[in-house]
Amino acid sequence: MTREDIIKPENLVYKRTSVLKDATMHYCPGCGHGTVHRIIAEVIEEMGIQDNVVGISPVGCSVLAYNYFDVDFVEAAHGRAPACASAIKRLRPETFVFSYQGDGDLASIGCAEVMHACNRGENITMIFINNGIYGMTGGQMAPTTLEGMETVTCPYGRDPEIMGHTMRLTEALAQLPGTYYVTRQAVYTPALARKCKKAIRQAFENQKLNKGVSFVEVTSNCNSGWKMTAVQANKWMEENTLKYFPLGDMKVNGKFDPKFIERIATFDQPNETLYSLRKK
């Protein structure tokens, strides 16, 4: 096959969605941010809503998300994306609105805003990239950093007695009546990425119902912050992160998933998971 043959439309099996600009992303190789961007962009394209959507980017590695998506975008202050999304949806109810935040942005500095937007049942889609660390500022501890995990601000491992416990905020948000759909996904294998895409599609479709927040956490990696190769990071995430942050739906169509109810019943056991994550 010549190059000319390959680029014929009938031979095309894969292309950049028109909702992503022709720009080189600044993300580290293997970082989950890029994959999730692509999934969101594909969903926007498939739903045909490119000309009726506003995205809100956070402060974090994805602060420049607006340089990649070819849709209208507003860049929020650190942690305030849910407040921004709430206002835009209320002022322009006919528009699809989504916020995109990291775990420092959403679970630490923006904890109040996400809680209250979820509690008010804003009719928006929230995407939450949980990589257990502050990627952008150089790998500091986040509320979601696992116990025992090392970061530059907990170089001897996160000690919950001094530094607080690993925060499962998504589980808390699922319990607010204002959330309609809450799920935890991952994108580090093609199968998982496809599942995640279904979830994100659902989270956008739900805006047509006007029933409250649709919240998709994506458990992700930060190879640079974790100081691992992309392959190591994915393996590590599977063996550690996902034990504390198991994948799956928590709430669908406003109803709790039975497995989720079973799981949160075990939360009151102290030090349920204290992993020893020191690297040799």
Partner 1 sequence: MAKELKLMKGNQAIAEAAIRMGCDGYFGYPITPQSEVLEHLMAERPYLTTGMVVLQAESELASINMVYAGASTGKRVMTSSSSPGFSLMQEGLSYIAGAELPALCVNVVRGGPGLGTIQPSQSDYFQTTKGGGHGDYRLITLAPASVQEMYDFVELGFDLAFKYRNPAAILSDGVIGQVMEKVMVDDYKPRWTNEYIEEHCPWAATGHRAGGKSTIVTSLELEALKQEAINERIQAKYRKCEEEDARHEAIQCDDAEYLFVAYGSAARICMKAMELARAEGIKVGLVRPITLWPFPTKAVAEIGGRMKKILSVEMNAGQMIEDVKLAVNCNVPVEHYGRYGGVIPTPVEIFEALKKMVK
Ligand X SMILES: Cc1ncc(C[n+]2csc(CCOP(=O)(O)OP(=O)(O)O)c2C)c(N)n1
Give φ, ψ of 67 to 5 degrees. Answer: -80, -10
Binding segment (CB under 8 A) for partner 1, from list 3-11, 76-84, 174-182, 198-206: 76-84
27 touches ligand X by CB under 6 A: no
Residue length of the chain:
280
For ligand SF4, the binding residues in 48-107 under the rule CB under 6 A are 61
The position carrying tokens 């974790």 is 226
Long-range contacts of 147-150 (CB under 8 A, 24+ apart): 147/271, 147/273, 147/274, 147/275, 148/274, 148/275, 148/276, 148/277, 148/278, 149/240, 149/275, 149/277, 150/277, 150/278, 150/279
Q: Among residues 142 and 174, whose Cβ is nearest to ligand SF4?
A: 142
For ligand SF4, the binding residues in 19-48 under the rule CB under 6 A are 27-28, 31, 33
102 touches Mg ion by CB under 5 A: yes
Q: Are 124 and 100 in contact (CB under 8 A)?
A: no
Binding segment (CB under 8 A) for partner 1, from list 7-15, 39-47, 64-72, 178-186: 64-72
Measuring CA to CA, how many Å separate 108 from each of 76, 132, 149, 223, 262? 15, 11, 17, 21, 27
193 touches ligand SF4 by CB under 6 A: no
131 touches ligand X by CB under 6 A: yes
Q: How far is the CB of 29 from ligand SF4 (least distance, A)?
A: 8
Q: How far is the CB of 94 from ligand SF4 (least distance, A)?
A: 33
| 31 contact, one of ligand SF4, partner 1, ligand X, none, CB 5-8 Å limit per kind | ligand SF4
Binding segment (CB under 8 A) for partner 1, from list 28-36, 39-47, 48-56, 193-201: 48-56
CA angle 34, 40, 46 (to 5 degrees): 135
153 touches partner 1 by CB under 8 A: no
Beta strand 179-186 pairing with 248-252? antiparallel
Q: How far is the CB of 22 from ligand SF4 (least distance, A)?
A: 20
140 touches partner 1 by CB under 8 A: no
Instruction: Give the helix/strand (H/E) hosting 82.
Output: helix 81-91
Residues that bind partner 1 (CB under 8 A): 50-54, 56, 63-64, 66-67, 69-77, 80, 83-88, 90-92, 95-97, 112-113, 115-116
